[in-house]
Homo-oligomer: A and B are copies of this chain.
């Protein structure tokens, strides 16, 4: 990334910080594939179609940022990439992004992949709600400085 988090206009914005980590063409797709079971370098390479050198670089950065770790595979002695708790914590981001894409980036009737739970039921729309369960929108929320 050309700019680092410290150079944002608002250095205290968590959105900017997050974008700084995963806001490029590939990182989120690598995380997506990791959630979908990808573990080996070649596996990631084939699923994403990313160039090998770029993939090596992105994996390195994701490891540096703590989203992915390289661990010994239980079976062989080959090391595999697995999501850390930090990486897994991107799950709601991936899901909301996916749901937005489903709703607004496909023509009617176009083939798409969907997310289902253990029983094969489609995952319902994720919504932001207040403590009392009331749905929130950008109109009913605002940003406040903290700390």
Contact = CB atoms under 8 A, between A and B. Distances in A.
A73 interface: no
A134 to B, nearest CB: 8
Contact of A126 (B1, B14, B86, B128): B128
User: Do most interface residues of chain A lie in helix, strand or loop, or is the interface mixed?
Assistant: mixed
Interface in A27-56: 28-29, 32, 35-36, 46-49
B105 A137 contact: no
Contact of A98 (B14, B101, B115, B140): B14
B25 A3 contact: yes
15 contacts: A5-B105, A14-B97, A14-B98, A15-B29, A15-B101, A18-B97, A18-B100, A19-B28, A24-B24, A66-B104, A89-B104, A93-B100, A117-B140, A124-B130, A126-B128
